Protein backbone atom coordinates (compact mmCIF):
# COMPACT_ATOMS: atom_id res chain seq x y z
CA UNK A 1 0.00 0.00 0.00
CA UNK A 2 2.77 2.42 0.95
CA UNK A 3 4.66 1.74 -2.26
CA UNK A 4 1.51 2.22 -4.33
CA UNK A 5 0.77 5.56 -2.64
CA UNK A 6 4.31 6.83 -3.17
CA UNK A 7 4.28 5.69 -6.80
CA UNK A 8 1.01 7.56 -7.35
CA UNK A 9 2.62 10.81 -6.17
CA UNK A 10 5.61 10.29 -8.45
CA UNK A 11 3.23 9.51 -11.33
CA UNK A 12 1.40 12.80 -10.75
CA UNK A 13 4.47 14.97 -11.35
CA UNK A 14 6.22 12.71 -13.84
CA UNK A 15 4.54 14.27 -16.88
CA UNK A 16 5.93 17.71 -15.98
CA UNK A 17 9.59 16.65 -16.34
CA UNK A 18 11.74 18.16 -19.04
CA UNK A 19 11.41 20.93 -21.59
CA UNK A 20 8.42 19.24 -23.22
CA UNK A 21 6.70 18.47 -19.91
CA UNK A 22 3.07 19.46 -19.47
CA UNK A 23 1.67 21.83 -16.84
CA UNK A 24 -0.78 21.08 -14.06
CA UNK A 25 -3.79 23.18 -13.12
CA UNK A 26 -4.43 23.06 -9.40
CA UNK A 27 -7.83 24.22 -8.18
CA UNK A 28 -8.44 24.59 -4.45
CA UNK A 29 -11.73 24.50 -2.51
CA UNK A 30 -12.33 28.24 -2.91
CA UNK A 31 -11.71 27.97 -6.64
CA UNK A 32 -8.28 29.65 -6.73
CA UNK A 33 -6.25 28.38 -9.64
CA UNK A 34 -2.51 27.76 -9.86
CA UNK A 35 -1.05 26.72 -13.21
CA UNK A 36 2.47 25.40 -12.86
CA UNK A 37 5.14 23.03 -14.05
CA UNK A 38 7.15 23.20 -10.82
CA UNK A 39 7.25 19.84 -9.00
CA UNK A 40 7.40 21.19 -5.47
CA UNK A 41 4.55 23.68 -6.04
CA UNK A 42 2.31 20.90 -7.37
CA UNK A 43 3.07 18.62 -4.43
CA UNK A 44 2.62 21.38 -1.84
CA UNK A 45 -0.77 22.29 -3.29
CA UNK A 46 -2.00 18.70 -3.64
CA UNK A 47 -4.33 17.45 -0.94
CA UNK A 48 -2.46 14.37 0.25
CA UNK A 49 -3.73 12.16 3.07
CA UNK A 50 -1.59 9.03 2.85
CA UNK A 51 1.42 9.08 5.22
CA UNK A 52 3.80 7.40 2.76
CA UNK A 53 2.77 9.83 0.03
CA UNK A 54 3.53 12.70 2.39
CA UNK A 55 7.12 11.44 2.60
CA UNK A 56 7.45 11.99 -1.14
CA UNK A 57 6.33 15.58 -0.67
CA UNK A 58 9.07 15.96 1.95
CA UNK A 59 11.63 14.77 -0.63
CA UNK A 60 10.54 17.57 -2.96
CA UNK A 61 10.56 20.18 -0.19
CA UNK A 62 14.07 19.21 0.92
CA UNK A 63 15.30 19.37 -2.66
CA UNK A 64 13.71 22.81 -3.04
CA UNK A 65 15.26 24.16 0.17
CA UNK A 66 18.73 22.77 -0.54
CA UNK A 67 19.09 23.44 -4.26
CA UNK A 68 15.94 25.10 -5.53
CA UNK A 69 15.66 22.93 -8.63
CA UNK A 70 15.34 19.24 -9.54
CA UNK A 71 12.30 18.62 -7.34
CA UNK A 72 10.46 16.59 -9.99
CA UNK A 73 13.62 14.55 -10.68
CA UNK A 74 13.99 13.62 -7.02
CA UNK A 75 10.37 12.50 -6.67
CA UNK A 76 10.35 10.56 -9.94
CA UNK A 77 13.55 8.70 -8.99
CA UNK A 78 12.14 7.86 -5.54
CA UNK A 79 8.96 6.51 -7.13
CA UNK A 80 10.90 4.36 -9.58
CA UNK A 81 13.19 3.00 -6.82
CA UNK A 82 10.09 1.79 -4.99
CA UNK A 83 8.63 0.27 -8.14
CA UNK A 84 11.83 -1.73 -8.72
CA UNK A 85 11.86 -2.75 -5.05
CA UNK A 86 8.34 -4.08 -5.45
CA UNK A 87 9.56 -6.46 -8.19
CA UNK A 88 12.35 -7.67 -5.91
CA UNK A 89 9.95 -8.19 -2.99
CA UNK A 90 7.86 -10.43 -5.23
CA UNK A 91 11.00 -12.52 -5.83
CA UNK A 92 11.27 -12.97 -2.05
CA UNK A 93 14.22 -10.64 -1.55
CA UNK A 94 14.03 -9.31 2.00
CA UNK A 95 13.33 -5.55 2.37
CA UNK A 96 16.44 -5.13 4.56
CA UNK A 97 18.62 -6.57 1.80
CA UNK A 98 17.09 -4.18 -0.74
CA UNK A 99 17.54 -1.23 1.65
CA UNK A 100 21.20 -2.15 2.21
CA UNK A 101 21.82 -2.48 -1.54
CA UNK A 102 20.12 0.86 -2.24
CA UNK A 103 22.29 2.58 0.34
CA UNK A 104 25.46 1.14 -1.16
CA UNK A 105 24.32 2.17 -4.62
CA UNK A 106 23.47 5.72 -3.48
CA UNK A 107 26.92 6.15 -1.89
CA UNK A 108 28.64 4.83 -5.01
CA UNK A 109 26.46 7.13 -7.17
CA UNK A 110 27.67 10.16 -5.22
CA UNK A 111 31.30 9.16 -5.88
CA UNK A 112 30.67 8.64 -9.61
CA UNK A 113 28.86 11.98 -9.93
CA UNK A 114 31.74 13.86 -8.31
CA UNK A 115 34.12 12.05 -10.66
CA UNK A 116 32.24 13.00 -13.84
CA UNK A 117 31.49 16.59 -12.74
CA UNK A 118 32.96 19.39 -14.82
CA UNK A 119 34.61 22.45 -13.27
CA UNK A 120 33.27 25.94 -13.98
CA UNK A 121 34.92 29.30 -13.42
CA UNK A 122 32.68 31.78 -11.57
CA UNK A 123 33.55 34.39 -14.22
CA UNK A 124 32.26 32.18 -17.05
CA UNK A 125 29.02 34.07 -17.62
CA UNK A 126 27.95 32.21 -20.76
CA UNK A 127 28.05 28.93 -18.81
CA UNK A 128 26.08 30.45 -15.92
CA UNK A 129 23.53 31.65 -18.44
CA UNK A 130 23.19 28.12 -19.84
CA UNK A 131 22.61 26.79 -16.33
CA UNK A 132 19.86 29.33 -15.71
CA UNK A 133 18.39 28.49 -19.12
CA UNK A 134 18.26 24.75 -18.34
CA UNK A 135 16.44 25.46 -15.07
CA UNK A 136 13.91 27.73 -16.80
CA UNK A 137 13.16 25.61 -19.86
CA UNK A 138 9.71 24.09 -19.77
CA UNK A 139 8.46 26.60 -17.20
CA UNK A 140 6.53 28.80 -19.62
CA UNK A 141 9.37 31.31 -19.84
CA UNK A 142 10.68 30.23 -23.24
CA UNK A 143 9.57 33.32 -25.13
CA UNK A 144 11.85 35.61 -23.15
CA UNK A 145 14.30 33.02 -21.86
CA UNK A 146 17.47 34.88 -22.85
CA UNK A 147 16.30 38.09 -21.21
CA UNK A 148 15.33 36.37 -17.95
CA UNK A 149 18.50 34.25 -17.78
CA UNK A 150 20.56 37.38 -18.28
CA UNK A 151 18.71 39.08 -15.40
CA UNK A 152 19.22 36.05 -13.13
CA UNK A 153 22.96 35.80 -13.82
CA UNK A 154 23.52 39.53 -13.38
CA UNK A 155 21.56 39.58 -10.13
CA UNK A 156 23.41 36.63 -8.58
CA UNK A 157 26.87 37.84 -9.60
CA UNK A 158 26.11 41.27 -8.11
CA UNK A 159 25.01 39.97 -4.71
CA UNK A 160 27.73 37.31 -4.45
CA UNK A 161 30.12 37.84 -1.55
CA UNK A 162 33.87 37.95 -2.13
CA UNK A 163 34.36 34.40 -0.83
CA UNK A 164 31.91 33.00 -3.39
CA UNK A 165 28.94 32.42 -1.11
CA UNK A 166 25.61 33.66 -2.38
CA UNK A 167 22.45 34.33 -0.42
CA UNK A 168 19.60 34.66 -2.92
CA UNK A 169 17.53 36.47 -0.26
CA UNK A 170 19.38 39.62 -1.31
CA UNK A 171 17.69 39.41 -4.69
CA UNK A 172 14.19 40.80 -4.38
CA UNK A 173 11.74 39.65 -7.03
CA UNK A 174 8.74 41.95 -7.50
CA UNK A 175 5.82 40.70 -9.57
CA UNK A 176 3.75 43.19 -11.55
CA UNK A 177 0.86 42.22 -13.80
CA UNK A 178 0.77 44.27 -16.98
CA UNK A 179 3.11 44.72 -19.91
CA UNK A 180 4.91 41.78 -21.49
CA UNK A 181 7.63 39.41 -20.27
CA UNK A 182 10.19 41.49 -22.17
CA UNK A 183 9.42 44.50 -19.95
CA UNK A 184 11.02 42.67 -17.01
CA UNK A 185 14.08 44.51 -15.76
CA UNK A 186 16.75 44.52 -13.08
CA UNK A 187 17.18 47.38 -10.63
CA UNK A 188 20.76 47.75 -9.44
CA UNK A 189 19.60 48.58 -5.97
CA UNK A 190 16.30 48.16 -4.19
CA UNK A 191 12.74 48.53 -5.30
CA UNK A 192 10.16 49.45 -2.67
CA UNK A 193 6.46 48.98 -3.13
CA UNK A 194 5.55 52.26 -1.38
CA UNK A 195 5.02 55.89 -2.26
CA UNK A 196 6.09 59.25 -0.82
CA UNK A 197 4.16 60.21 2.28
CA UNK A 198 3.51 63.80 1.12
CA UNK A 199 2.77 65.14 -2.37
CA UNK A 200 4.96 68.17 -1.70
CA UNK A 201 8.09 66.02 -1.50
CA UNK A 202 10.44 65.74 -4.48
CA UNK A 203 9.69 62.81 -6.83
CA UNK A 204 13.28 62.39 -7.84
CA UNK A 205 16.46 62.83 -5.80
CA UNK A 206 19.87 62.51 -7.41
CA UNK A 207 22.96 61.95 -5.28
CA UNK A 208 20.70 60.70 -2.49
CA UNK A 209 21.98 60.57 1.07
CA UNK A 210 19.71 58.00 2.63
CA UNK A 211 18.72 57.73 6.27
CA UNK A 212 17.35 54.32 7.32
CA UNK A 213 15.37 54.90 10.49
CA UNK A 214 13.79 52.28 12.71
CA UNK A 215 12.05 54.76 15.00
CA UNK A 216 8.80 56.66 14.73
CA UNK A 217 8.92 60.29 13.61
CA UNK A 218 6.11 61.23 16.01
CA UNK A 219 5.87 62.85 19.42
CA UNK A 220 6.54 60.58 22.32
CA UNK A 221 3.50 59.16 24.01
CA UNK A 222 3.89 58.50 27.74
CA UNK A 223 5.05 54.97 28.46
CA UNK A 224 2.67 54.56 31.42
CA UNK A 225 -1.00 55.56 31.65
CA UNK A 226 -1.00 59.21 32.53
CA UNK A 227 -3.60 61.95 32.54
CA UNK A 228 -2.86 65.51 31.62
CA UNK A 229 -5.26 68.04 33.13
CA UNK A 230 -5.64 71.22 31.15
CA UNK A 231 -7.73 73.98 32.70
CA UNK A 232 -7.35 76.95 30.38
CA UNK A 233 -7.19 77.46 26.61
CA UNK A 234 -3.67 78.94 26.70
CA UNK A 235 -2.41 75.78 28.44
CA UNK A 236 -3.93 73.74 25.64
CA UNK A 237 -2.24 75.93 23.07
CA UNK A 238 1.07 75.60 24.92
CA UNK A 239 0.63 71.80 24.98
CA UNK A 240 0.00 71.66 21.24
CA UNK A 241 2.90 74.01 20.52
CA UNK A 242 5.18 71.81 22.61
CA UNK A 243 4.09 68.69 20.70
CA UNK A 244 4.82 70.48 17.44
CA UNK A 245 8.18 71.67 18.76
CA UNK A 246 9.13 68.09 19.69
CA UNK A 247 8.39 66.90 16.18
CA UNK A 248 10.22 69.87 14.71
CA UNK A 249 13.31 68.98 16.74
CA UNK A 250 13.25 65.43 15.30
CA UNK A 251 12.90 66.74 11.74
CA UNK A 252 15.70 69.27 12.30
CA UNK A 253 17.95 66.41 13.45
CA UNK A 254 17.18 64.47 10.26
CA UNK A 255 17.82 67.50 8.05
CA UNK A 256 20.98 68.46 9.96
CA UNK A 257 22.52 65.05 9.25
CA UNK A 258 22.44 65.94 5.55
CA UNK A 259 19.89 63.26 4.65
CA UNK A 260 17.63 64.06 1.70
CA UNK A 261 15.86 60.69 1.57
CA UNK A 262 14.27 59.03 4.60
CA UNK A 263 13.09 55.43 4.77
CA UNK A 264 11.23 54.88 8.02
CA UNK A 265 10.22 51.47 9.33
CA UNK A 266 7.61 53.01 11.64
CA UNK A 267 5.13 55.87 11.24
CA UNK A 268 5.69 59.49 10.24
CA UNK A 269 3.36 62.07 11.81
CA UNK A 270 1.34 64.49 9.63
CA UNK A 271 3.14 67.52 11.03
CA UNK A 272 6.49 65.80 10.44
CA UNK A 273 5.48 65.10 6.83
CA UNK A 274 4.81 68.81 6.35
CA UNK A 275 8.19 69.85 7.75
CA UNK A 276 10.07 67.15 5.82
CA UNK A 277 8.37 68.27 2.60
CA UNK A 278 9.39 71.87 3.35
CA UNK A 279 12.98 70.74 3.85
CA UNK A 280 12.83 68.92 0.47
CA UNK A 281 13.34 65.50 2.02
CA UNK A 282 11.71 62.54 0.28
CA UNK A 283 10.25 60.22 2.91
CA UNK A 284 8.52 56.83 3.00
CA UNK A 285 7.01 55.18 6.06
CA UNK A 286 6.17 51.65 7.21
CA UNK A 287 8.88 50.05 5.06
CA UNK A 288 9.18 46.28 5.62
CA UNK A 289 12.05 45.04 7.78
CA UNK A 290 13.39 42.83 4.97
CA UNK A 291 13.42 45.84 2.62
CA UNK A 292 15.26 47.93 5.21
CA UNK A 293 17.95 45.26 5.45
CA UNK A 294 18.29 45.17 1.67
CA UNK A 295 18.51 48.98 1.56
CA UNK A 296 21.25 48.93 4.21
CA UNK A 297 23.21 46.39 2.17
CA UNK A 298 22.71 48.16 -1.16
CA UNK A 299 23.43 51.73 -0.02
CA UNK A 300 26.06 50.85 2.62
CA UNK A 301 24.06 52.79 5.21
CA UNK A 302 23.29 51.70 8.76
CA UNK A 303 19.91 51.07 10.34
CA UNK A 304 19.38 53.72 13.02
CA UNK A 305 17.12 52.67 15.89
CA UNK A 306 17.01 55.88 17.86
CA UNK A 307 16.40 59.50 16.93
CA UNK A 308 19.41 60.56 19.04
CA UNK A 309 21.74 58.30 17.05
CA UNK A 310 21.11 60.07 13.73
CA UNK A 311 24.38 61.36 12.28
CA UNK A 312 26.16 61.88 8.99
CA UNK A 313 28.20 58.66 9.41
CA UNK A 314 25.09 56.46 9.42
CA UNK A 315 23.81 57.58 6.00
CA UNK A 316 23.79 55.40 2.89
CA UNK A 317 24.34 56.62 -0.66
CA UNK A 318 22.50 56.04 -3.95
CA UNK A 319 22.94 57.85 -7.26
CA UNK A 320 19.21 58.13 -7.82
CA UNK A 321 16.05 57.68 -5.78
CA UNK A 322 12.91 58.12 -7.81
CA UNK A 323 9.19 57.42 -7.56
CA UNK A 324 7.84 55.88 -10.77
CA UNK A 325 4.61 54.30 -11.86
CA UNK A 326 4.82 50.59 -12.66
CA UNK A 327 1.58 49.30 -14.21
CA UNK A 328 -0.53 51.86 -12.40
CA UNK A 329 1.13 51.66 -8.97
CA UNK A 330 3.69 54.01 -7.49
CA UNK A 331 6.99 52.39 -6.54
CA UNK A 332 10.24 53.85 -5.28
CA UNK A 333 13.42 52.90 -7.11
CA UNK A 334 16.74 53.20 -5.28
CA UNK A 335 19.31 52.92 -8.04
CA UNK A 336 22.93 53.61 -9.06
CA UNK A 337 24.38 52.45 -5.76
CA UNK A 338 28.19 52.29 -5.69
CA UNK A 339 28.40 48.56 -5.06
CA UNK A 340 24.89 47.13 -4.84
CA UNK A 341 25.12 43.93 -2.82
CA UNK A 342 21.32 43.77 -2.96
CA UNK A 343 19.37 44.02 -6.20
CA UNK A 344 15.75 43.77 -7.34
CA UNK A 345 14.16 42.18 -10.37
CA UNK A 346 10.78 43.28 -11.71
CA UNK A 347 8.90 40.51 -13.46
CA UNK A 348 6.13 41.55 -15.83
CA UNK A 349 3.57 39.47 -17.68
CA UNK A 350 0.13 39.61 -19.22
CA UNK A 351 -1.85 37.77 -16.55
CA UNK A 352 -1.44 36.86 -12.91
CA UNK A 353 -0.87 33.17 -13.72
CA UNK A 354 1.89 34.00 -16.19
CA UNK A 355 3.62 36.26 -13.68
CA UNK A 356 3.38 33.66 -10.91
CA UNK A 357 4.90 30.97 -13.11
CA UNK A 358 7.67 33.32 -14.27
CA UNK A 359 8.38 34.11 -10.64
CA UNK A 360 8.82 30.38 -9.90
CA UNK A 361 11.06 29.97 -12.95
CA UNK A 362 13.13 32.95 -11.80
CA UNK A 363 13.48 31.51 -8.28
CA UNK A 364 14.80 28.26 -9.81
CA UNK A 365 17.25 30.11 -12.05
CA UNK A 366 18.57 32.25 -9.19
CA UNK A 367 19.00 29.15 -7.01
CA UNK A 368 20.92 27.10 -9.58
CA UNK A 369 23.23 29.95 -10.55
CA UNK A 370 24.05 30.63 -6.90
CA UNK A 371 24.66 26.92 -6.26
CA UNK A 372 27.11 26.77 -9.18
CA UNK A 373 28.92 29.89 -7.97
CA UNK A 374 29.40 28.17 -4.61
CA UNK A 375 30.27 24.63 -5.80
CA UNK A 376 31.88 25.54 -9.16
CA UNK A 377 30.87 22.13 -10.57
CA UNK A 378 28.30 21.13 -13.19
CA UNK A 379 26.97 18.01 -14.92
CA UNK A 380 25.52 17.51 -18.39
CA UNK A 381 21.70 17.46 -18.38
CA UNK A 382 19.20 15.67 -20.59
CA UNK A 383 19.55 12.36 -18.73
CA UNK A 384 23.28 12.07 -19.53
CA UNK A 385 24.35 11.81 -15.89
CA UNK A 386 21.67 9.20 -15.13
CA UNK A 387 22.65 6.96 -18.05
CA UNK A 388 26.33 7.16 -17.10
CA UNK A 389 25.46 6.33 -13.47
CA UNK A 390 23.29 3.44 -14.57
CA UNK A 391 26.11 1.85 -16.60
CA UNK A 392 28.74 2.36 -13.91
CA UNK A 393 26.48 1.03 -11.13
CA UNK A 394 25.80 -2.16 -13.11
CA UNK A 395 29.56 -2.83 -13.26
CA UNK A 396 29.78 -2.07 -9.54
CA UNK A 397 26.90 -4.49 -8.79
CA UNK A 398 28.73 -7.33 -10.53
CA UNK A 399 31.75 -6.74 -8.31
CA UNK A 400 29.61 -6.92 -5.14
CA UNK A 401 27.75 -10.16 -5.94
CA UNK A 402 25.22 -11.85 -3.67
CA UNK A 403 21.68 -10.61 -3.13
CA UNK A 404 22.81 -7.01 -2.73
CA UNK A 405 23.78 -7.17 -6.40
CA UNK A 406 20.09 -7.44 -7.30
CA UNK A 407 19.27 -4.31 -5.34
CA UNK A 408 22.14 -2.32 -6.85
CA UNK A 409 21.09 -3.40 -10.33
CA UNK A 410 17.52 -2.34 -9.53
CA UNK A 411 18.87 1.07 -8.44
CA UNK A 412 20.82 1.34 -11.70
CA UNK A 413 17.81 0.61 -13.87
CA UNK A 414 15.60 2.92 -11.75
CA UNK A 415 17.83 5.87 -12.69
CA UNK A 416 16.96 5.32 -16.36
CA UNK A 417 13.46 6.60 -15.60
CA UNK A 418 14.74 10.17 -16.12
CA UNK A 419 15.84 9.84 -19.78
CA UNK A 420 12.87 7.53 -20.40
CA UNK A 421 10.43 10.13 -19.05
CA UNK A 422 12.10 12.92 -21.04
CA UNK A 423 11.55 10.83 -24.18
CA UNK A 424 7.95 9.96 -23.30
CA UNK A 425 7.03 13.57 -22.52
CA UNK A 426 8.45 14.66 -25.86
CA UNK A 427 6.44 11.99 -27.68
CA UNK A 428 9.51 9.93 -28.69
CA UNK A 429 9.92 6.17 -28.41
CA UNK A 430 11.51 5.65 -24.97
CA UNK A 431 13.07 2.25 -25.75
CA UNK A 432 14.80 3.41 -28.94
CA UNK A 433 16.16 6.49 -27.22
CA UNK A 434 17.43 4.54 -24.20
CA UNK A 435 19.27 2.11 -26.47
CA UNK A 436 20.77 5.01 -28.42
CA UNK A 437 21.93 6.73 -25.23
CA UNK A 438 23.40 3.55 -23.76
CA UNK A 439 25.29 2.87 -26.96
CA UNK A 440 26.77 6.39 -26.91
CA UNK A 441 27.84 6.07 -23.27
CA UNK A 442 29.37 2.64 -23.81
CA UNK A 443 31.58 4.24 -26.45
CA UNK A 444 32.80 6.63 -23.75
CA UNK A 445 30.70 9.66 -24.74
CA UNK A 446 29.92 10.60 -21.16
CA UNK A 447 28.22 13.90 -21.90
CA UNK A 448 25.66 12.56 -24.37
CA UNK A 449 22.04 13.09 -23.35
CA UNK A 450 18.68 13.26 -25.04
CA UNK A 451 17.90 16.39 -27.04
CA UNK A 452 14.09 16.37 -26.97
CA UNK A 453 13.84 19.00 -29.72
CA UNK A 454 16.06 17.08 -32.17
CA UNK A 455 14.85 13.68 -30.90
CA UNK A 456 18.31 12.14 -30.74
CA UNK A 457 21.36 11.68 -28.49
CA UNK A 458 23.50 14.82 -28.55
CA UNK A 459 26.52 16.16 -26.65
CA UNK A 460 24.79 18.11 -23.88
CA UNK A 461 27.74 20.38 -23.14
CA UNK A 462 27.72 21.67 -26.72
CA UNK A 463 23.92 21.96 -26.64
CA UNK A 464 24.23 24.04 -23.47
CA UNK A 465 22.04 21.79 -21.31
CA UNK A 466 23.87 21.76 -17.98
CA UNK A 467 22.88 21.44 -14.33
CA UNK A 468 24.67 22.05 -11.04
CA UNK A 469 26.30 18.99 -9.49
CA UNK A 470 24.38 19.60 -6.26
CA UNK A 471 21.00 19.20 -8.01
CA UNK A 472 21.84 15.59 -8.90
CA UNK A 473 23.68 14.57 -5.72
CA UNK A 474 20.86 15.92 -3.55
CA UNK A 475 18.12 14.38 -5.73
CA UNK A 476 19.66 10.90 -5.65
CA UNK A 477 20.51 11.06 -1.95
CA UNK A 478 17.04 12.16 -0.84
CA UNK A 479 15.26 9.81 -3.27
CA UNK A 480 17.26 6.84 -1.94
CA UNK A 481 16.62 7.85 1.67
CA UNK A 482 12.87 8.15 1.14
CA UNK A 483 12.69 4.84 -0.73
CA UNK A 484 14.63 3.02 1.99
CA UNK A 485 12.47 4.55 4.68
CA UNK A 486 9.23 3.48 3.00
CA UNK A 487 10.65 0.00 2.31
CA UNK A 488 11.41 -0.58 5.96
CA UNK A 489 7.81 0.01 7.05
CA UNK A 490 5.98 -3.34 7.28
CA UNK A 491 2.81 -2.19 9.05
CA UNK A 492 0.79 0.97 9.26
CA UNK A 493 -0.92 1.17 12.62
CA UNK A 494 -3.46 3.84 13.48
CA UNK A 495 -2.31 5.50 16.69
CA UNK A 496 -4.97 6.42 19.24
CA UNK A 497 -3.17 9.27 20.96
CA UNK A 498 -4.03 12.18 18.77
CA UNK A 499 -7.79 12.37 19.45
CA UNK A 500 -7.59 13.71 23.03
CA UNK A 501 -7.26 17.51 22.50
CA UNK A 502 -10.90 17.86 21.29
CA UNK A 503 -12.18 18.23 24.88
CA UNK A 504 -11.09 17.25 28.35
CA UNK A 505 -10.39 13.52 28.55
CA UNK A 506 -12.86 11.56 30.72
CA UNK A 507 -12.19 11.08 34.41
CA UNK A 508 -10.39 14.41 34.91
CA UNK A 509 -7.39 12.97 33.05
CA UNK A 510 -6.31 16.50 32.18
CA UNK A 511 -5.33 17.21 35.76
CA UNK A 512 -3.57 13.88 36.07
CA UNK A 513 -1.58 14.83 33.01
CA UNK A 514 -0.55 18.09 34.64
CA UNK A 515 0.51 16.27 37.76
CA UNK A 516 2.55 13.83 35.73
CA UNK A 517 4.30 16.68 34.03
CA UNK A 518 5.20 18.10 37.41
CA UNK A 519 6.66 14.73 38.28
CA UNK A 520 8.75 14.80 35.15
CA UNK A 521 10.09 18.18 36.11
CA UNK A 522 11.29 16.75 39.43
CA UNK A 523 13.12 13.86 37.82
> Would you call 269 helix, strand, or coil by DSSP?
coil
**What pLDDT shows up at residue 518?**
43
Higher pLDDT, 145 or 282: 282
Confidence of residue 523 (pLDDT cuts 50, 70, 90): very low
What is the secondary structure of 392-437 as a DSSP string? HHHHHHHHH-HHHHHHHHHHHHHHTHHHHHHHHHTT--HHHHHHHH
Confidence of residue 141 (pLDDT cuts 50, 70, 90): low
Confidence of residue 57 (pLDDT cuts 50, 70, 90): confident
Q: Point out the catalytic residue in the list 23, 36, 38, 62.
A: 38
Confidence of residue 165 (pLDDT cuts 50, 70, 90): confident
**What pLDDT shows up at residue 519?**
44
CB within 8 Å of 15: residues ≥ 6 apart: 21, 22, 425
| Calpha distance 210→213 (Å, rounded) | 10
Q: What is the mean predicted confidence (pLDDT) over 104-128?
A: 86
CB within 8 Å of 50: residues ≥ 6 apart: 2, 5
Please tell me the pTM assigned to this model: 0.77
Domain ranges across the chain: 2-119+379-487, 133-188+340-375, 195-333
Q: What is the mean predicted confidence (pLDDT) over 80-101?
A: 89
pLDDT in tens, 285-337: 898 888 888 888 888 888 888 888 888 888 888 888 888 887 778 888 888 87
pLDDT at 105 over 80: yes
| Fold observed for domain 195-333 | GroEL (3.50.7)
Mean residue pLDDT across the chain:
82
Q: Which CATH class is domain 2-119+379-487?
A: mainly alpha
Confidence of residue 450 (pLDDT cuts 50, 70, 90): confident
Closest CA to 158 of 147, 167, 145: 167
Tell me the CATH number for domain 133-188+340-375.
3.30.260.10
**What pLDDT shows up at residue 64?**
84
| Calpha distance 294→337 (Å, rounded) | 12
pLDDT at 140 over 80: no
Strand pairing partners for 467?
379
Confidence of residue 60 (pLDDT cuts 50, 70, 90): confident
72 tagged catalytic: yes
Q: Point out the catalytic residue in the list 16, 41, 62, 72.
A: 72
pLDDT in tens, 183-224: 788 888 888 888 888 888 888 888 888 888 888 887 777 677
pLDDT in tens, 492-520: 777 776 554 555 455 444 444 444 444 44
522 tagged catalytic: no
**What pLDDT shows up at residue 501?**
52
**What pLDDT shows up at residue 107?**
92
Q: Point out the catalytic residue in the list 23, 269, 364, 451.
A: 364
Asked, colleague to colleague, whether 2-119+379-487 and 195-333 share their fold, the answer is no
Within 13 Å and on the Cβ side, how many CA atoms surround 149? Answer: 21
**What pLDDT shows up at residue 171?**
84
| Calpha distance 370→323 (Å, rounded) | 31
**What pLDDT shows up at residue 512?**
43
**What pLDDT shows up at residue 7?**
85
Q: What is the mean predicted confidence (pLDDT) over 145-150?
A: 80
Percent with pLDDT over 90 in the chain: 4
364 tagged catalytic: yes
Contact at 8 Å (CB) between 242 and 266?
Answer: no
pLDDT at 251 over 70: yes
pLDDT at 81 over 50: yes
73 tagged catalytic: no
| Calpha distance 23→37 (Å, rounded) | 5
Q: Point out the catalytic residue in the list 16, 62, 71, 73.
A: 71
Give me the count of residues in the chain.
523
Amino acid sequence: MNITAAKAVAGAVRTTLGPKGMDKMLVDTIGDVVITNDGVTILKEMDIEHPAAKMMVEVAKTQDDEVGDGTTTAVVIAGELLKKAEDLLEQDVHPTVIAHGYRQAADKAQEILKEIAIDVKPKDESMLRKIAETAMTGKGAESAKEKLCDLAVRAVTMVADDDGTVDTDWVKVEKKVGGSINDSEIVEGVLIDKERVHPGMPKKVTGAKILLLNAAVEFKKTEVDAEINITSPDQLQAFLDEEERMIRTIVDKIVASGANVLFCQKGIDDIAQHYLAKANVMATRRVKKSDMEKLARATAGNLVSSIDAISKEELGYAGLVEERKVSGEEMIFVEKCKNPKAVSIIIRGGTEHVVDELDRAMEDALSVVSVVLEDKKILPGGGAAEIELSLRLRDYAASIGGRAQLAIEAFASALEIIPRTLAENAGLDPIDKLVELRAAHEKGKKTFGLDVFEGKAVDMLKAGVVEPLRVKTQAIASAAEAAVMILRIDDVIASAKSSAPEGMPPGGGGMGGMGDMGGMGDM
